[in-house]
Each structure stands twice: as structure tokens, then as C-alpha cells.
Amino acid sequence: MHHITSVVAEGQSIAPLIIFLIFGIFMIASMWKMFAKAGKPGWAAIVPIYNLIVLLDIAGKPAWWFILLLIPFVNYIILLLMWIGVANAFGKSSGFGVGLWLLGIIFIPMLAFGNAQYQGAPR
């Protein structure tokens, strides 16, 4: 009897894992599509560190800003400025950039799969 309940408990814990994996794959696909729209290699979305450097490039920010992303609290400001730059590069408002920063879960897929076109990095 004890064995049956432990199997059920294990089965219940796999559902969140499956949902997490599906969500993760969807977000990778969204970033991949966004990079491709900007003329960057889509695979860069799955390479740690390099994906942030590519995002900085899309946003029209210098690559050395990556170092600023390593500084606690400063990184929040840099991420905000980067996402606003990304939004502007796709012809979206700064408010959309704040949405990318705060609710990337929603706004990144909107940017990737919506009708926004890359207009070039704001310099």
C-alpha cells in the first residue's frame, strides 16, 4: 500500500516539471524568433552571456555594458535601458520596453510572434 502512494506522489510532481519544460521551450523559441527578426543568429538565444551581448547589440548599447549587468542593483537599471532599447529597435514605445523588463514572459512572445519589424538599433 505504501508503494502505491509514493508512486502517485511522484506522478503528481512531474506535471509542474513538464509545464516548466514546455514554458522554457516556448520562451527559447520566442527569443530565437526575436533574434532572427533582428538579423542575429537565433541560436544565440540559448548561449549564456552571448545572448545578453546580442540583446545589447539589438538595443544599440555597447557590449561592455555586460560588465554593468554583473553589478548588483545597477543591473536592474541596465536591463531596463536595454529592454527599452530593444523595444525602440522594433518600433515599439518605451512603455513596451518597461513591459519587456517587468513582464518578459508576456512581452517577449508578443514582440517575437507579433507584427513588429526590426528597424535597426537606436544609437
Q: For residues 18 and 24, give the distance between their C-alpha atoms in angstroms, rounded to a whole number.
A: 10
| Structure confidence at residue 13 (pLDDT) | 82
| Structure confidence at residue 11 (pLDDT) | 57
CA distances from 20 to 13, 31, 87 (A): 12, 16, 26
Q: What is the pLDDT of residues 85-119, one digit of tens each?
A: 999 999 999 999 999 999 999 999 999 999 999 99
Average pLDDT estimate for 17-35: 95
Average pLDDT estimate for 11-39: 92
Q: For residues 81 and 87, give the distance between their C-alpha atoms in angstroms, rounded to a whole number.
A: 10
Q: 98 is written with which cell numbers?
A: 518597461
Biggest alpha carbon–alpha carbon distance for the chain: 67
Q: What is the pLDDT of residues 31-85, one digit of tens each?
A: 999 999 999 999 999 999 999 999 999 999 999 999 999 999 999 999 999 999 9
Q: Is 25 exposed, middle or buried (0-12, 13-18, 19+ CB in 10 A)?
A: exposed
